[in-house]
């Protein structure tokens, strides 16, 4: 049986390879949307912030987690919306031509 | 019931979320599927959030909901209001918030596990050695991402100058700060025995990391921004993955690794496009040996009026437009499109040559031109268009400079020697719309200005283009 750390490292390394494999060939047209979409995905740390903010007391750890939730949500909501706006411009053009 | 929920449903939903993230990212690599890919990734995020709430069970939700609403409103409004031309700085800012969140989560965990219960011992004793290390890494990388992205935001939005700011002995300073941060991390990880010293250590580590982020990005010039933005993007993913290690949460580890890997690839693509290595971009402070203020005197430079340019354009059969950062600054993308449409109606073959690092973020020009409804089939990559310049009648360079500098190929002593550039000088004639003869971000002379087949049209890109458009129109009407 592997310890949780080792499992985590396995998952991390394999996910890195998956990341490298899917991204290797990407048209330059999509560099910005890919970056901005990936950036929104990195807001996944929101999951961690929520877990950390579950106590209702007003103490330092809750305050830090509360700010973390705000930051991460800005990243997630803003990131996905901005990416969608950008990609909307690409598809709008396609519908015309 | 709770056992089933926690042991089966929650892990399965997390797995589903991770798989959707992968499909979403894969979708983002093709034009056809990109929008759906983004939506899939957003769905994956929603599933992950709902799953986390399920996993927590009945807790005090007020802070969580308040945070989600506040953050959602700020992010949503910013994303809807932002101009397409301000996209680079917006992405940088969002990225900083993501990194900052990871650092805050790690700090929150340190407070909860050690400081609030007044735990008498080191972080390794309370969290386990591995979690102590990853919590520290999360604080370090997350904080660097936060302030680094913020400086990038300020540079991109022009609130501070784009020129590299070079501190004396900055490598020594950075090295000392890094070692100091490491020492603070090792101290709270393994040696601190009291909550008060723990607070001190955590604050010192955070403060130094925040400063390091500023110091890392301050010396980086505007032209290197596409590299540093991709790199910071990669770092925010790594910070999230480190948080995942602390929390033993695989969704965080997987998505963080995906972002880290994709950001690194993009960074690599940008570096190759400039013929530089990442360490060179990060540590060299570009342009320092070239001298940025005095970029050499120019000999004969032919300056043309928009009328003369219009007369040239009226006779050409093929035109390649080279957009650069100046196009974005002048917001001239619609006017360029108008000119292109006008000429295309006359049977002129119009295409756009896109240098990979034109602009201030990866793919900047593509987004800008897409906003003006330029069909992306007309956007040609550098390697494809370079052999075609010889058969091209005219090239119109709008607000670009270093990416068309022949010195990169012809002068081995030039600071940009070896950087792949657009070989516009091979065309019959070149027209450069530029505000002045001032050097680009590389801070070097551009000999193209003196070439026989080159004409300079001085002025704001948008104004000049508008004049050219009306001149071309009247020429057509007269014919």
pLDDT tens profile B304-317: 888 888 888 888 88
CA nearest to A22 within chain B: B26
Provide the pLDDT confidence category of residue A74 given band limits of 50, 70 and 90: very high
Q: Are B301 and B449 in contact (CB under 8 A)?
A: yes
The answer to whether the CB atoms of B108 and A53 lie below 8 A apart is yes
Long-range CB pairs of B20-27 (<8 Å, 24+ gap) are B20/B44, B20/B47, B21/A41, B21/A44, B21/B251, B21/B254, B21/B255, B21/B258, B22/A18, B22/A22, B22/B254, B22/B258, B24/A37, B24/A41, B25/A19, B25/A22, B25/A23, B25/A34, B25/A37, B25/A38, B25/A41, B25/B258, B25/B262, B26/A22
Q: Nearest C-alpha of chain B: how many angstroms from A10?
A: 10
- How high does pLDDT run on average in chain B? 85
pTM: 0.84
Provide the pLDDT confidence category of residue B1 given band limits of 50, 70 and 90: low
CA nearest to B38 within chain A: A37
Q: What is the pLDDT of residue B141?
A: 95
Question: How many Cβ contacts (< 8 angstroms) between chains A and B?
Answer: 390
ipTM of the complex: 0.92
Chain A contact present for B239, CB below 8 A: yes
* Residue among A76, A5, A39 nearest B246 (CA): A5
* A32: nearest CB among B67, B243, B364: B364
Dist CA A15 CA B253 (whole Å) = 8
* Residue among B242, B276, B283 nearest B259 (CA): B242
pLDDT surpassing 90 at residue A54: no
Which residue out of B55, B72, B78, B91 would a mutagenesis test of the A interface target, given it has the greatest number of A Cβ atoms within 10 Å?
B91
SS3 (DSSP) at B424: helix
The model's pLDDT over B21-57, given as tens digits with 9 standing for 90+, comes to: 999 999 998 888 899 999 999 999 999 999 999 888 7
Provide the pLDDT confidence category of residue A92 given band limits of 50, 70 and 90: low
Dist CA B149 CA B235 (whole Å) = 10
The answer to whether the CB atoms of B105 and A80 lie below 8 A apart is no
The model's pLDDT over B141-194, given as tens digits with 9 standing for 90+, comes to: 999 999 999 999 998 887 776 666 777 777 888 888 889 888 888 888 888 777
HSE, side-chain direction, 13 A CA sphere, residue A84: 16
Question: Which range is most confident: B42-56, B413-427, B457-471?
Answer: B42-56
Provide the pLDDT confidence category of residue A16 given band limits of 50, 70 and 90: very high
User: Terminal CA-to-CA distance of chain A, rounded, Å?
Assistant: 58
pLDDT surpassing 60 at residue A1: no
**DSSP conformation class of B458:** E
Distances in whole angstroms, Cα of residue B468 to Cα of each of B337, B353, B427: 12, 20, 20
- How high does pLDDT run on average in chain A? 85
Q: What is the mean pLDDT of residues A18-46?
A: 88
Q: What is the pLDDT of residue A96?
A: 47
In sequence order, the β-bridge partners of residue B319 are B350, B394
Chain A contact present for B255, CB below 8 A: yes
Q: Determine which helix (DSSP H) or strand (DSSP E) holds B477, and give its type and residue range.
A: helix B461-478
Q: Are A47 and B44 in contact (CB under 8 A)?
A: no
In this structure, of B26-40, B82-96, B316-330, B428-442, the range with the lowest mean pLDDT score is: B428-442
Which is catalytic among the residues B3, B402, B452, B460? Answer: B402
- Is B402 considered catalytic here? yes
Dist CA B401 CA B100 (whole Å) = 35
Dist CA B33 CA B11 (whole Å) = 28
The model's pLDDT over B193-229, given as tens digits with 9 standing for 90+, comes to: 777 888 888 899 999 999 999 998 888 876 788 888 8
In this structure, of B42-46, B94-98, B162-166, B403-407, the range with the lowest mean pLDDT score is: B162-166
pLDDT surpassing 60 at residue B292: no
Provide the pLDDT confidence category of residue A3 given band limits of 50, 70 and 90: confident
Question: Which chain A residues touch B38 with a CB distance below 8 Å?
Answer: 33, 37, 40, 80, 83-84, 87
Which residue out of B34, B62, B80, B123 would a mutagenesis test of the A interface target, given it has the greatest number of A Cβ atoms within 10 Å?
B34
């Amino acid at each position: 049986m592997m310890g949780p750390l080792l499992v985590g490292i396995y998952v991390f390394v394999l996910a890195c390879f998956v990341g490298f494999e899917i991204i290797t060939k990407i048209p330059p047209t999509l560099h910005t949307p890919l970056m901005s979409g990936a950036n929104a995905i990195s807001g996944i740390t929101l999951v961690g912030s929520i877990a950390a903010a579950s106590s209702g007391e007003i103490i330092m750890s809750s305050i830090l987690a509360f700010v973390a939730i705000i930051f991460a949500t800005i990243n997630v909501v803003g990131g996905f919306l901005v990416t969608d706006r950008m990609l909307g411009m690409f598809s709008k053009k396609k519908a015309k031509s | 019931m709770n056992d089933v929920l926690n042991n089966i449903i929650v892990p399965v939903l997390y797995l589903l979320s991770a798989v959707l993230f992968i499909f979403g990212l894969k979708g983002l690599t093709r034009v056809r599927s990109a929008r759906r890919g983004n939506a899939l990734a957003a769905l994956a995020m929603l599933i992950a959030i709902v799953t986390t709430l399920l996993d927590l069970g009945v807790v005090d939700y007020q802070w969580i909901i308040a945070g989600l609403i506040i953050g959602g409103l700020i992010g949503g409004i910013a994303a809807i209001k932002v101009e397409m031309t301000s996209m680079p700085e917006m992405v940088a800012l969002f990225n900083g918030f993501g990194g900052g969140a990871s650092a805050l989560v790690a700090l929150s965990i340190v407070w909860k596990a050690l400081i609030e219960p007044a735990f008498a011992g080191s972080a390794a004793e309370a969290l386990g050695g591995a979690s102590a290390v990853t919590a520290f890494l999360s604080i370090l990388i997350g904080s660097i991402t936060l302030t680094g992205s913020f400086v990038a935001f300020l540079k991109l939005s022009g609130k501070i100058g784009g020129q590299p700011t070079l501190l004396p002995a900055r490598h020594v300073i950075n090295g000392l700060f890094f070692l100091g941060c490491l020492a603070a991390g090792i101290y709270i990880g393994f040696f601190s025995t009291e909550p008060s010293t723990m607070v001190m250590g955590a604050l010192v580590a955070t403060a130094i990391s925040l400063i390091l982020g500023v110091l890392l990005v301050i010396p980086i010039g505007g032209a290197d921004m596409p590299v540093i933005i991709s790199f910071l993007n990669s770092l925010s993913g790594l910070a999230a993955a480190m948080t995942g290690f602390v929390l033993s949460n695989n969704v965080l580890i997987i998505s963080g690794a995906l972002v880290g890997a994709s950001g690194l690839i993009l960074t690599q693509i940008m570096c190759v496009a400039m013929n530089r290595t990442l360490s060179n971009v990060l540590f060299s402070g570009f342009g320092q040996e070239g001298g940025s203020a005095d970029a050499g005197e120019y000999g004969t430079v032919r300056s043309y009026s928009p009328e003369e340019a219009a007369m040239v354009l009226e006779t050409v059969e093929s035109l390649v437009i080279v957009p650069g950062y100046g196009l974005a600054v002048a917001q001239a993308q619609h006017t360029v499109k108008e000119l292109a449409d006008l000429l295309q109606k006359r049977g002129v073959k119009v295409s756009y040559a896109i240098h990979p690092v034109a602009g201030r973020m990866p793919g900047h020009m593509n987004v800008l031109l897409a906003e003006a409804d330029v069909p992306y089939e007309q956007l040609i990559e550098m390697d494809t268009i370079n052999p075609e310049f010889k058969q091209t009648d005219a090239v119109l360079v709008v607000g670009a400079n270093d990416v068309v500098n022949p010195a990169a190929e012809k002068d081995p002593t030039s600071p940009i020697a070896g950087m792949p550039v657009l070989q516009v000088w091979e065309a019959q004639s070149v027209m450069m719309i530029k505000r002045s003869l001032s050097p680009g971000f590389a801070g070097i002379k551009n000999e193209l200005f003196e070439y026989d087949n080159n004409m300079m049209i001085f002025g704001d890109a948008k104004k000049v283009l508008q004049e050219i458009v009306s001149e071309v129109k009247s020429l057509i009407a007269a014919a």
